[in-house]
Structure 1
Amino acid sequence: MSTTSLPARKKRKLSETHASEANEDTIATLEKSLMASAENTTSVKVELAKLVKATKKATDPEITHKGIYALYRVFVSLASSGRLVGTQKADNEEKKALRNELLKQLKTYGEFLSSLLKDQEESLHIAALQILMSVLKHLSTAVSKSSGQPQIHMIWWRCIVQGLTLCPLSLRPSSTSSSSNRALISTVRDQFVDTWFSVHDDIRWFFLRDTGNLLKPGATVDPQVPENIFSILEKLNTMPTDASELNEFWIPAFAKAPSDSGPGAEIPDDDEEDDWRKSFDEPDGSEHDNGTGKGNRVYRLSTLQSLHSLTSHRVQFTVCWFALLPHLSGSMPLCLRVLNILHRGIMPHLTRPLRLNDWIGGCVDLGGSIGLLALNSLFTLMQEYNLDYPSFYTKLYAFLDSDVLHLKHRSRFFRLAELFLSSTHLPSTLLASFLKRLSRLSLSAPPAALVAIIPFTYNIMKRHPALMCLVHRRPSINESTGLPENHYVDPFNPDETSPLLTNALDSCLWELVSMKNHYQASVAILARIFEEQFTKPQYALEDFLDHTYGTLFTTEIKKRIKADPALAMEHIKDLFPGKQIAPREGDKETLISATDLVSEIWTFG
């Protein structure tokens, strides 16, 4: 290394330090000048452009942080003074030109903030989200005050939606975010959901509406967008169930309840997408026109009325989810995450849950954990929304194969199966098929699965006494000899796919009865329950579902020994006796000859 290289590096480092200090001073000076000369049109245009440019070009995260907050204070001041909004007819050309320039810089600032949501610096993307939402409140308040009607600043709001769904790369020069990773950062998602999406009714309504339009059929969507939207929706923990719960609004103008309008009156509305009642309209020329020629309703809701309508919130929720689900069908992990929350977090808030039938049915056909969870959602539709699905138990019966007792979702299967088979109105033929199939699978099942199969079978038989014949059936008697048949032919057909045609009710659970001789003591003790009277209460199945080889081994080694085991064994002289040789004439005893090496080694005394 040459001697001149060190001083040069030091000079470059010092120059960078001075440049950073000058940049920080420049931001403070420009902010102070903008606050002081708000009425000077030329000065505001020039200095605001300089401040935006200096903030975007800053490489130090601390300086970027100072720059975005300086711009925040400047734009809030401009919005509060009405410089960013106004009546176009009343303004002169100079004010219109100034407003257009300010709105141009505002859009640039919004795009930069939305890109910071993907920045590698956590402090920057959290600060950017807070500024975006705070500016939205000030801009929407100014627009609502100027127009006389409650409104949201749509341009700024779309910058927020774009930052949360498209996740553009950070525009900060020194940011090193990957160009291929467009996933929403978890800290940004949690901050948005916990602070605004789950709390404020207006933010939730507008987000559901705009993302539903973004995913509508025929629209070109980036592959990462549906996953980002779903990551936000699955974290939603509050959804109104009564109109009185619509009382939290981020934009103050929306907090005032709308005035009541008589039915049939037409309410002007600039946004056609806000009319949630279109979801219930019949197409033109339908049979419901009754010859009047009027296909659609005349009455429409304004944005304010929609925000205070529980039905409108439910419709936007429904439209968003039904637009999202087709985009998630190609990913099994995403389908699994949807099914985990579908029955408790999505169905209760949909206007027409039965429309989920086709999507859930497709998930059932995938099998595995996804199929089991889809069966749970399908059962919820049948139980709570009167869905007619005749092949439900045939689908459930198909899950009973050798894999279900060895995979990690075994406990989930037994939980769901106990729920599905709990009805006392199910036919005994169907229930017998499930018990017989489980009994047959128990022959190759691990002990951890057997300790769940036996209590499960006992509970079903306790609930359905007609199944007692499966354990009390006597062997058939030979008419000619009057003795039991030595060769038993099981009438059960394991290859039959329909649980109503397996002949299981004519069979018996000999497989489970044989488990009383199982090598695992806990399994053998459980299996003896079938030899006793069914007077004991049902088992708490949850106590048996999470057993593994490890828990069974731990139980055995911690078991208290009631009697000491025998340590002394009876001495056996001839463990491997040799071949007996017939005595010759005159011999009194049989001769023993050790004919192999093992007998010679193990012959004592």
Structure 2
Amino acid sequence: MVSAEGSNNSKTAEVAKKIKELLIESPDDRVDAARLDELRKVFAQRTPDMHATISSNSTVQMKWKEFLQQKHKVFIKQLCDRIAQGKRTAIRTIWGVVATTPIPNGDHNIVSTDLLLDWIRAMSFLPDVMEDKTIRNMLQAEFLNPYRDVQYYTMIAIARCAHELYGQQTEGKDIAERAERILEILTMMQLPTSQKDLDSQGGLLFVPPEDAVPQDDGNDEAEAIDYNDASEDSSDSDSEDEQPAAKRAKISAAKAIKPMFTFQKVSCHRLAWSKAWLAVLKLDLPLVALKKALRFLPGNVLPHVPHPLRFSDFFMEAYNHNGVVSVLALDGLFLLITAHGLEYPNFYKQLYRLITPSLLYVKYRTRFFRLLDKCLTRNEMLPTHIVAAFVKRLLRSTLVAPVPSVLFVLALCSNLLRKRPEMACLVHRNDDEWKDGFDAETDDPEEANALQSSLWELGALERHYYPAVSTLAKSVGREQELSTPLYNLDDFLAHTYQSLFEQERNKRKQQKGKTTVPLTFVRPDSLFAEKDVFHGLLAVPSSQSHKGTN
């Protein structure tokens, strides 16, 4: 017994000495990376000792456990410092630490949220996490998306890190860049869309079988969920005999269902997804990150979170901005209003304010046009004088707008005029006999007095240099248009200068070989007109010297 204990003490001393030696940093990057990886292997072998339950009278084992935990923290700090410097080997090493240093939970092991939190903190300092596509691909393909347990606990770690940054933000510290990098990591994740999708992928650590009954994940940040709903259902009754038979059967079935780890339930993933996003969106994001969040949320977050209306404050605050930010916020805000019952009385007033000539030039105008069509054509309860104000402001903006935007606005206004015949007076009104009452300066469609005006802008567009604009403007609101189907606005959304150019070029290709010389053509005899002082200075060769040119 004594010799065995002495042998163990000797082996422990050797391991302690090796750990101390390996903690000495090296200036050579390759040597230092190999040193850190060797440390990872040493600590992986000592994981049971770091999490062992020690009796109070075992002083030696207690000191050994404290030594291992203290040196492990130093090791993790060294890794995080190198991650913040952009060392990819350090990122891979800390992933190895996460895989080989789990948290014991009964008969199973789970991912350590504390380790993931240290990793997220370090990644928030990484300067090129957004620009370097190789790092992004490495994070997605090797760590975040393949392992659902890692993904779940990473979302919890991101929420904790965001709360920490929010506290630093209130202290006056500039954390905008760190918040942007955390948001970038969050957008790399692909949330499971269903329980079947979640079950089809495993975890980094052992996933318990269906008959396992773990009661807790061991992480304080995990959502406390009671999977035994029967206890809540039966708490209001004095006895089980007093309950209806159907309810007793439901409770018995619920008791037969055995609980799982939280990362095995898609509902827990959605809840962690929501908490992570809400925590990050509380931070003061840079303009680039804010735009990215506004583009990402409507399609990737709002459809999958349990309570989408919790994001309404973020979208409304962004919608109150001017310019591109308001346009991007319109998508999510419209989704919350139409699909989730959000009440926002100033929605159309703010939408009216967004319509400016400069908006018709931005690259996000297609997104805005699509939502504008939904807001104006699908809401039959919208008063006519409000719709008339939008039509008037849109046409006024097209007078200085690019051709693709002009074509869409004309098509949209044509559809609105045909859906609301009471606005026909705007087209057929004689300007000479009517004083224009439209207030172009106000940003409130209620006060614009659009019905007291006329669409004289159509007359200006009829003289547009582009033939398609001129032709379409001549038909908007006319009687011959009433019998034709409504325009498919998707066809107009695809228009760009390049597509219009290709369209005109294809027309000329189709007409090739069919062109004839105009009969009234007269060949000029000089470069300048007859009454010009330079007439005759540069003569044009006669037709006889160019036979066959006719």
TM-score range, shorter chain: 0.7 to 0.9
Q: Retained in 1: the 8 A contact 2:158–2:276?
A: yes
Question: How far apart, CA to CA, are the structure 2 residues paired with 1:244 and 1:570?
Answer: 75
Aligned residue number for residue 59 of structure 2: 93
Contact kept in structure 2, 1:227 and 1:328, CA below 8 Å: no
Partner of 2:249: none
The structure whose RCO (Cα within 8 Å, separation 6+) is larger is 2
- Write the distance in 2 (CA, Å) between the matches of 1:73 and 1:88: 23
Paired letter, 1:131: T
Once residues 398 and 119 of structure 2 are traced to their aligned partners in structure 1, the CA distance between those partners, rounded to angstroms, is 56
**Which secondary structure state, in structure 1, belongs to the residue aligned with residue 101 of structure 2?**
helix
RMSD between aligned alpha carbons? 3.9
1:518 aligns with 2:464: yes
Aligned pairs for 1:127-526 (under 5 A) are 127-140=89-102, 143-144=104-105, 148=107, 150-153=109-112, 156-167=115-126, 181=127, 187-216=134-163, 219-220=167-168, 223=175, 224-242=177-195, 245=198, 248-253=201-206, 255-256=208-209, 272-276=220-224, 305-329=261-285, 331-425=286-380, 426-471=382-427, 473-475=428-430, 486=432, 488-526=434-472
In the alignment, which of 77, 85, 102 is matched to residue 68 of structure 2? 102
> Which amino acid in the other structure matches residue 138 of structure 2?
Q
- The 1-side partners of 2:274 and 2:97 are apart by 29
What corresponds to 2:242 in structure 1? none
Q: Which amino acid aligns with 1:87?
A: T
Residues in 2 aligned to 1:558 and 1:599: alpha-carbon distance in whole angstroms: 39
Compute the TM-score of the two structures, normalised by the length of structure 1: 0.69
Matched, 1:72 2:40: yes
Partner of 1:49 in structure 2? 20
Measure the CA separation in 1 of the matches of 2:68 and 2:213: 38
Q: 2:79 aligns with which of 113, 116, 126?
A: 113
CA distance in 2, matches of 1:374, 1:233: 19
Q: 1:508-561 CA deviation, whole Å, 9 max, x = no partner?
A: 323224433322222222223334333333333333335455554554455425
Aligned equivalents of 1:188, 1:526: Cα separation in 2 = 50
2 CA distance for matches of 1:40 and 1:249? 37
Indicate conservation of the 8 Å contact 1:116/1:128, yes or no: yes
Does the 8 A contact of 2:117 with 2:160 survive in 1? Answer: no
Verify the 8 A CA contact 1:491 1:504 in the aligned structure 2. yes
Is the Cα contact below 8 Å between 1:150 and 1:304 reproduced in 2? no
1:431, distance to aligned residue in structure 2 (A): 1.8
Residues 1-39 of structure 1 show CA distances to partners (whole Å, capped at 9, x for unaligned) of xxxxxxxxxxxxxxxxxxxxxxxxxxxxxxxxxxx9997
Any conservation in 2 of the 1:258–1:305 contact (CA below 8 Å)? Answer: no
Count of equivalent residues: 484
Per the TM alignment, residue 247 of structure 1 is displaced from its structure 2 partner at its CA by 6.2
In 2, Cα distance between the equivalents of 1:571 and 1:250?
Answer: 83
Cα offset, 1:129, TM superposition:
2.9
Unaligned ranges ≥5, structure 2: 1-6, 227-257, 537-550
Judge conservation of contact 1:51–1:71 (CA < 8 Å) in 2. yes
Q: Structure 2: how far apart are the matches of 1:599 and 1:40?
A: 108
| Closer/same/farther in 2, CA of residues 304 and 213 from structure 1, 3 Å limit | farther
What is the rounded CA distance, in whole Å, between the counterparts of 1:41 and 1:191 in structure 2?
37
Query: Where does the alignment leave 5 or more consecutive residues of structure 1 unmatched?
Result: 1-35, 168-180, 262-266, 279-301, 476-484, 578-597
- Name the TM-score, length of structure 2 as normaliser: 0.75
Matching residue of 1:24 = none
| 1:40 correspondence with 2:16 | no
Q: Could you list the per-position Cα deviations for residues 220-271 of structure 1 after superposition, in whole angstroms to 9, with x for gaps in the alignment?
A: 266133222101111222234448735645354553458679xxxxx78976
Q: What's the CA shift for 1:84?
A: 3.8
AA aligned to 1:411 is T
Q: Is the 8 A contact 2:117 2:161 kept in 1?
A: no
Q: Supply the distance in 2 between the matched residues of 1:436 and 1:229 (Cα, whole angstroms).
A: 44
- Separation of aligned partners in 2, 1:251 and 1:447: 54
Taking a change above 3 Å as real, the CA distance of residues 108 and 188 of structure 1, as seen in their structure-2 partners, is farther
Larger radius of gyration: 1
Tell me the percent identity: 22
CA distance change for structure 1 residues 516 and 162 in 2, over 3 Å: closer, same or farther?
closer
Is structure 2 residue 28 aligned with structure 1 residue 59? yes
Q: Secondary structure at the match of 1:405?
A: helix
Q: 1:353 to 1:600 in 2, by over 3 A?
A: closer
Quick check: 1:516–1:525 contact (8 Å CA) kept in 2?
yes
Report what 2:481 is aligned to.
533
- 1:249 and 1:550, CA in 2 relative to 1: closer, same or farther beyond 3 A? closer
In the alignment, the residues of structure 1 paired with residue 218 and residue 505 of structure 2 have an alpha-carbon distance, to the nearest angstrom, of 75
